[in-house]
Structure 1
Amino acid sequence: MKLSHKFLAAFCSSLALTGCMKVLDKTDLSSTSGALIFNDSTLTQMNLDYIYDQNLPAGIPTLGPGTPSVTSLTDESYGESKLLEGTLLVNEVGDFGTKLDAANNYGKIRVINMFLSDVNGGSLPRLTKNKLRAQAQFFRAWRYFDLVRLYGGVPMVLTPLAAVGVEARDQAFLPRNTTSESFALIVKDLDSTIASVPGKWASTNDWGRITKGSAAAFKGRVLLTAASPQFNPTDDVTKWQASYDANKQAYDLLTANGYGLNSSFDQLWFQEVNNPEAVLITGYNTSSADQARKNNGYDNATRPSYTGTSGGSNQPSWEMVKAFPMLDGKKPGESTKYTYTDQSFYKNRDPRFDKTIAYNGATWPMNGNNTYKLWTYFAGGKTVEPKATNTGFYARKAVNPAPAISEVQYSGTDWIEIRFAEVLLNLAESAVGVNKLDEAYTQLKAVRKRAGIEAGTDNMYGLKANMTRAELFSAILYERQIEFAFEGKRFWDLRRWKLIEKTLNGTKRTGVTINLKTTGVPADFATTRDNVSLDKAYTDYFTVTFKQLDTKYSINWKPEYYFFAIPQQAIDNNPKLIQNTTWGGAFDPLN
């Protein structure tokens, strides 16, 4: 592998590493050989860090280039989409590699395969090579899982293919591996990672590197997907057993290395090094001194636009708002202790509600103001916000309250892709799959206890006792909906459980408009409202009305979207690719 002069120079100058000078002094930097680079630990590490940078998730995902955030494809938020309209065409989920592009999945896999090959040929000690290769193999597994959950089995390219020439082109015409083969190779890569990386890195400078626990947790996610109805329509218990074993391994490795639930559901996002809940993270920073600034765009994009420089992109639907349990853990309308009404939707809710949903009148510390109150109501038909939220709500999860407006765009908050809470709920779901129902209850109660839900006299945290297997599966999916709201998990959960039609079809997602009444409101309400109790304001001064957010169509997700079509451009480029049976081809993605 060769690195360009610019690439090496950028790394050397930004990291100020003397190792660059040691290796490249008096060397022609325009044509640096792979052997020279991969005989040097510093330059090899730079190449691995590039793989980290290119492959770590950057917040809520999409389905590939040109597709919307997955949050907008569920009842969590809203957004117009051909997937929900039911008009998706064969080429429109196209992150398959339809052209030479370093940014698509196969482009990134090529870089990883070249790294794995070149490191193996270098002269570094075998244990060092194994540790470096193991981290790259994690990301190859990451990329392939992204493809398999979209399309089913794909060509599993495990070595760098030659780039030019007719013979090289013909060798690159590879058929699709079966879906089961694809999952097996993903797991093989992750097993190699688990075997060769530490349970915890010794230096805080290595915070965010792949550990045994993060690789095992991702393996658990992969095999849970393989056991779910999308890939396991016959409920094959051996797939559930594989999922259970993987998630139990993840739990054991993580707890042995000091991981666990953070004591705070909302503040866990702002503790970085040694955060016990942060299993797999994308690190961000605001430093411009000794490294390139790398900003987390989620924060600035999520908060109200007038409190940052963009904003308002993750707006909760009314369906998401109403989904949260009451303080006793029962669903709205099912609790006998806490009465629910739409007019006072904010009262006596699961504590995660106030830490996830920002609503009219909520105290929402931000921009350094710990007593800031958010007002989203309309007065005389006009919004009191500089720019109104379309749904009536904002997401507040992982939005840092400290930075001033001018600094919001430079957020350094780490994105936590896998939290320990997910490991617990993955283990719970897998346990239900193998009929270990008591174990599922244990993990569910741990998550609810941390949330602050009342234990109740039965110490069940609002959970129904003696649930059936089917009821527990539903309870876990419900818990995931609440716990992981606006973390990009809801779409994949509904899809792997093939519940999108049941949950969304025939519906239009809903928002609220809160209006200030025209009579009985103090003339100085606009200046005194922060001092009025929320209950009085909602009882005496506000009306809550509902509006449809989806205005063009009722949602019409189609069954064939559970495995997307291989883009026709990819098939035209590779005649050995076969289209999925659900899109008119002969490839069965369930094999």
Structure 2
Amino acid sequence: MKLSHKFLLAFCAPLALTGCMKVLDKTDLNSTSGDLIFKDSVLTQMNLDYIYDQNLPAGIPTLGPGTAPSITTLTDESYGESKLLEGSLLVNEVGDFGTKLDPTNNYGKIRVINMFLSDVKNGTLPQFTKNKLRSQAQFFRAWRYFDLVRLYGGVPLVLTPLAAVGVEARELAFLPRNTTAETFTQIVKDLDSTIASVPGRWTSANDWGRITKGSAAAFKGRVLLTAASPQFNPTDDVAKWQASYDANKQAYDLLTTNGYGLHASFDQLWFQEVNNPEAVLLTGYNTATGDQTRKNNGYDNATRPSYAGTAGGSNQPSWEMVKAFPMLDGKKPGESTKYTYKEQLFYKNRDPRFDKTIAYNGVNWPLNGNTANKVWTYYVGGKTVEAKASNTGFYTRKAINPTVSIGDAQYSGTDWIEIRFAEVLLNLAESAAGINKLDDAYTQLKAIRKRAGIEAGTDGLYGLKANMTRAELFDAILYERQIEFAFEGKRFWDLRRWKLIEKTLNGTRRTGVTINLKTTGVPADFATNRDNVNLDLAYTDYFTLVFKQLDTKYAITWKPEYYYFPIPQSAIDNNPKLIQNNTWGGAFDPLK
């Protein structure tokens, strides 16, 4: 990524000292006043870059600093223990509401953003420059409030910096919760300001990754789609679906006008930085190893097999995720009449996204620059052939750069794409279904499946059922999102906003696979010649599949009250005006 995202004081490195001197001269940099900084566009930009750095998502997120499970472990994508899935969550054990003065939680970050907005407003820069700078910060204030509202419902809207010292300041900081509707309205207001003031596309390579009209509109589309979903719209109010449709259509129009669209390749889209048409909102990374601009992507090193990196083995797909992928004709396994699904040969004739997302025993997966590399995860005599075994039998290969070597994996510079153009299409499809524009929904679904490489079929529907009802289309879109966005941190939020976690997970235990080499009938030279053996033959004659429960301590028990998390009691103790959610014994209604 070209955008450096350094903190203000780092700007005054020796090579940049002359630029600093023009406004600071010999002023003590550690106590520089705001009126000096915010009349200089370069220094103001450095402060904004700090806001970018503190707020852009760093890959697959965790669910706040409280319980902090990875989002993938809270779904059928992967697995991991959590009090949320055990059904034992206590009031003070979740989320990021902000129970102390902390620059890393949501309200700490909002305070920094509000200070920036105030200082720029009061500065002496030209109004056009002010608008462009402030509107980018407003995007991130909207980002932070969306994180809060989808966790808790309505929250106190703090839109100006609060005084930090004194009894009077403390009293003024006791703010009540705004309604959920008011919180969504403020988020949209901030995003509309962003859309009005930023460019549709930045022209300088140094601005790669900055917020554009299209990225702000796409995020607005995500926000209003959430507001229209059953979690926040249990009465299926069509006006909310219409607002979502309008926002996502605006995003589509702004993006296509400025050259955005689906990348030609589902897997290679992660590795194109310059002029990547699919990268709507991203976090930029670089491959630096030691200087102050170092910003490496930790996802690659954490996700690849442990023997192919310095860490590795995270985000392991469950058997449920593996089974979910359609067949090559777009039909679900067991529903296709063209391609018979056999559990023993689970990898055969699947949606092309399968091999680009799931790494399984025997698959060719170029890693460390070795284009002939094959992954083997089987067991011999109860012992794994891997240096460290995959617990599920599978790995995630999405967004793992095959050219990066073992030693360099920890310095990956692959940008994380938080909003892809594919999401804009599926957000638009879902909103269209919401207002009964069913043909519109079909159009977007077919575009996604066509890019994936699914066969069109004689009817040109890419495996989609003809003449689906509104409800069937909703199901089809959620299914498409499960496949398209696997291991991108979207599945948990989709299940939650549709209130489908109990239906999908409760009473189940997620599954892994142990692949064992048979003790008889296997060629003596299999271990040395396995890369040359026909894989279908190996699975049919040499391997057995043994399924195991990954959730060993409990069957999943997600509770309905988890659709709105509780305000931590410590926050309520600090602020007597806060009211607990009605699903946790309070009187606040998060549906209003």
Aligned twin of 2:248:
247
Aligned twin of 1:39:
39
Helix, strand or coil: the match of 1:16?
A: helix
Q: What residue identity is the alignment partner of 1:52?
A: Y
How far the C-alpha of 1:31 sits from its partner, in A, is 1.7
Q: What residue identity is the alignment partner of 1:528?
A: N
Question: Does the 8 A contact of 1:283 with 1:415 survive in 2?
Answer: yes
Structure 1, residues 295-314: CA drift from partner, whole Å, max 9, x if none?
00000000011110111110
Aligned twin of 2:73:
72
How far the C-alpha of 1:17 sits from its partner, in A, is 6.0
Helix, strand or coil: the match of 1:253?
A: helix
Question: Does the 8 A contact of 2:509 with 2:554 survive in 1?
Answer: yes
Structure 1, residues 381-437: CA drift from partner, whole Å, max 9, x if none?
100000000000000000000111110000000000000000000000000000000
Helix, strand or coil: the match of 1:406?
A: coil
Question: Does the 8 A contact of 1:377 with 1:513 survive in 2?
Answer: yes
User: Structure 1 residues 571 and 255 mapped into 2: Cα distance closer, same or farther (>3 Å)?
Assistant: same
Aligned twin of 2:319:
318
Q: What residue identity is the alignment partner of 1:54?
A: Q
Aligned twin of 1:530:
531
Question: Does the 8 A contact of 2:95 with 2:151 survive in 1?
Answer: no
How far the C-alpha of 1:16 sits from its partner, in A, is 3.1
Question: Does the 8 A contact of 1:76 with 1:320 survive in 2?
Answer: yes
CA distance in 2, matches of 1:42, 1:439: 45
How far the C-alpha of 1:9 sits from its partner, in A, is 3.5
Equivalent residue runs for 1:15-30 within 5 Å: 16=16, 18-30=18-30
How far the C-alpha of 1:28 sits from its partner, in A, is 2.5
Aligned twin of 2:115:
114
Aligned twin of 1:348:
349
Aligned twin of 1:570:
571
* 1:327 paired to 2:316: no
Question: Does the 8 A contact of 1:14 with 1:292 survive in 2?
Answer: no
User: Structure 1 residues 149 and 400 mapped into 2: Cα distance closer, same or farther (>3 Å)?
Assistant: same
CA distance in 2, matches of 1:386, 1:443: 43
Name the stretch that deviates more: 465-474 or 285-294. Answer: 285-294
CA distance in 2, matches of 1:297, 1:389: 19
CA distance in 2, matches of 1:359, 1:566: 42
Runs of 4+ residues over 6 Å off in structure 1: none
Q: What residue identity is the alignment partner of 1:31?
A: S
For structure 1, the residue ranges without an aligned partner over 5 or more in a row are 1-5
CA distance in 2, matches of 1:92, 1:364: 40
Question: Does the 8 A contact of 1:14 with 1:290 survive in 2?
Answer: no
CA distance in 2, matches of 1:560, 1:14: 55
Structure 1, residues 125-171: CA drift from partner, whole Å, max 9, x if none?
00000000000000000000000000000001000000100000000
Aligned twin of 2:3:
none
Structure 1, residues 314-371: CA drift from partner, whole Å, max 9, x if none?
0000000000000000000000000001100000000000000000000000111011
Helix, strand or coil: the match of 1:91?
A: coil
CA distance in 1, matches of 2:8, 2:258: 35
For structure 2, the residue ranges without an aligned partner over 5 or more in a row are 1-5
Helix, strand or coil: the match of 2:252?
A: helix
Question: Does the 8 A contact of 2:7 with 2:50 survive in 1?
Answer: no
Q: What residue identity is the alignment partner of 1:501?
A: E
Aligned twin of 2:474:
473
Q: What residue identity is the alignment partner of 1:197?
A: V
Question: Does the 8 A contact of 2:289 with 2:411 survive in 1?
Answer: no
Structure 1, residues 481-536: CA drift from partner, whole Å, max 9, x if none?
00000000000000000000000000000000100000010111111000011111
Aligned twin of 1:490:
491
Equivalent residue runs for 1:547-566 within 5 Å: 547-566=548-567
Question: Does the 8 A contact of 2:7 with 2:46 survive in 1?
Answer: no
How far the C-alpha of 1:21 sits from its partner, in A, is 2.1
Aligned twin of 1:84:
85
Helix, strand or coil: the match of 1:343?
A: helix
Helix, strand or coil: the match of 2:45?
A: helix
CA distance in 2, matches of 1:334, 1:292: 52
How far the C-alpha of 1:36 sits from its partner, in A, is 0.4
Question: Does the 8 A contact of 1:425 with 1:480 survive in 2?
Answer: yes
Question: Does the 8 A contact of 1:361 with 1:534 survive in 2?
Answer: yes
CA distance in 2, matches of 1:145, 1:7: 25
CA distance in 2, matches of 1:394, 1:18: 50
Helix, strand or coil: the match of 2:545?
A: strand
CA distance in 1, matches of 2:376, 2:15: 45
Equivalent residue runs for 1:243-392 within 5 Å: 243-287=244-288, 292-392=293-393
Helix, strand or coil: the match of 2:407?
A: helix
Q: What residue identity is the alignment partner of 1:152?
A: G
Aligned twin of 2:190:
189
Aligned twin of 2:60:
60
How far the C-alpha of 1:15 sits from its partner, in A, is 7.4
Helix, strand or coil: the match of 1:514?
A: strand
User: Structure 1 residues 335 and 267 mapped into 2: Cα distance closer, same or farther (>3 Å)?
Assistant: same
Aligned twin of 1:3:
none
Question: Does the 8 A contact of 2:155 with 2:178 survive in 1?
Answer: yes
How far the C-alpha of 1:23 sits from its partner, in A, is 1.5
CA distance in 2, matches of 1:344, 1:7: 52
Q: How many residues align?
A: 586
**Could you tell me the TM-score, scaled by structure 1's length?**
0.98
Helix, strand or coil: the match of 1:405?
A: coil
CA distance in 1, matches of 2:268, 2:247: 29
Q: What residue identity is the alignment partner of 2:408?
A: E
Question: Does the 8 A contact of 1:241 with 1:433 survive in 2?
Answer: yes
Q: What residue identity is the alignment partner of 1:219?
A: K
CA distance in 2, matches of 1:276, 1:399: 19
CA distance in 2, matches of 1:541, 1:11: 61
User: Structure 1 residues 483 and 17 mapped into 2: Cα distance closer, same or farther (>3 Å)?
Assistant: farther
CA distance in 1, matches of 2:107, 2:17: 31
CA distance in 1, matches of 2:9, 2:345: 59
Aligned twin of 2:547:
546
CA distance in 2, matches of 1:442, 1:60: 29
Equivalent residue runs for 1:201-240 within 5 Å: 201-240=202-241
CA distance in 2, matches of 1:80, 1:221: 28
CA distance in 2, matches of 1:127, 1:64: 36
Equivalent residue runs for 1:403-552 within 5 Å: 403-552=404-553
Q: What residue identity is the alignment partner of 1:39?
A: K
Q: What residue identity is the alignment partner of 1:378?
A: Y
CA distance in 1, matches of 2:250, 2:114: 27
The root-mean-square deviation of aligned C-alpha atoms, in Å, is 1.1
CA distance in 1, matches of 2:14, 2:130: 25
